[in-house]
Amino acid sequence: MTRFPLTWLYAPGDRPHVVAKALTSGADIVIVDLEDAVAPDRKDYARSATADLLSEPDHPVPVHVRVNALDTQAAAKDLEALATRPGLSGIRLPKVRSADQIVRLAETTPPSAGGAPPLHALLESALAIERAYAIASAHPSLRGIALGEADLRADLGIRGDAGLDWSRSRVVVAARAAGLPPPPQTVHPDIRDLEGLAATCAHGRALGFLGRAAIHPRQLPVIERAYLPTEEELQQAETIIKAAATNQGAQALPDGSFIDAAVVATAQRTLSLVRRG
């Protein structure tokens, strides 16, 4: 059964002790950040420390690396140093603007023994949002897309949160249309505001996101609770699956709700989330 990651924890690449703690934090995926979390004069050290980490193939959870922006020399160095490391499970590409960037990277990045590393594109500008589907469907090596909302806010001049909802829905639709998993939400920047985190997770779930990136381990339980099905949702999914097992066609349940193939697919995903561990 597919295991859906719900929590993606960022850790700065120039602080190996923080990365080590992140790997045992309970996050589904750890993202070692070489971009925004690392000062310019620490980039070389962060790259070297991350290369050492990824020289080992086995980690408690998958390890992704967010490289530097693709139009920088630092990104080229990141990819050269890390792309073939056996412990690398994915490469996150910030500030992607076009499908051509994905294609060029996918076709020039040397594969490791396990094959080409999976790519994940971060869409952080108005131009990227307009090209969301083209980016999402650019190459088989691309396994996911997500928003970078801080940069997008700045690019669009948005102050309130509601101004991002169209872009959020655009990315959710583009991912689905390209056959990619539902995107995770971007980070909630205030690590003390757990109520705000829970509220925005609920909103993201309603928009079609699945899971969320985090910047501190204390955010992980809140994200997981927000995205795991409630007891009521679980019971409804089990009822739907049982009904579908005895009658393959569309039908009405005793409570009056109507089920068809689409409803059954949603119920199956609900159960997959519960059994993800």
Q: Of all residues in the chain, what percent are helix, strand and coil, respectively (each to 5)?
A: 50, 15, 40
User: Is residue 82 a contact partner of residue 105, using CB atoms and an 8 Å limit?
Assistant: no
Q: Yes or no: say if 144 and 171 are a contact pair by the CB < 8 Å rule.
A: no
CATH, domain range 7-227? 3.20.20.60
Distances (CA, A) of 180 to 80, 97, 110: 26, 18, 23
HEC readout, 5-69: CCEEEEEECCCHHHHHHHHCCCCCEEEEECCCCCCHHHHHHHHHHHHHHHCCCCCCCCEEEECCC
Q: Which residues contact 125 (CB under 8 A, 6 or more apart)?
A: 95, 97, 151, 152, 155
In the chain, which segments carry CATH 3.20.20.60?
7-227
pLDDT at 72: 94
CA distance 213 to 205: 13
Each residue's pLDDT expressed in tens, for the chain with a length of 277 residues: 446 899 999 999 999 999 999 999 999 999 999 999 999 999 999 999 999 999 999 999 999 999 999 999 999 999 999 999 999 999 999 999 999 999 999 988 876 656 678 999 999 999 999 999 999 999 999 999 999 999 999 999 998 889 999 999 999 999 999 999 999 999 999 999 999 999 999 999 999 999 999 999 999 999 999 999 888 877 877 777 777 777 666 666 667 676 767 777 777 777 777 765 4
Residue 151 marked in a binding site? yes
124 is in an annotated binding site: yes
Task: Tell me the three-class secondary structure of 166-227, residue by residue.
Answer: HHHHHHHHHHHHCCCCCCCECCCCCCCCHHHHHHHHHHHHHHCCCCEEECCHHHHHHHHHHH
Tokens of 176: 């689905």
Q: Is 233 annotated as a binding residue?
A: no
Q: What is the pLDDT of residue 1?
A: 40
Q: Which amino acid is at 48?
A: S
Question: Quick one: pLDDT at residue 249?
Answer: 63
> 22 burial class (0-12, 13-18, 19+ CB within 10 angstroms)?
buried
What pLDDT score does 135 carry? Answer: 98
Q: How far apart are CA 117 and CA 113, in angstroms?
A: 10
* pLDDT for position 147: 98
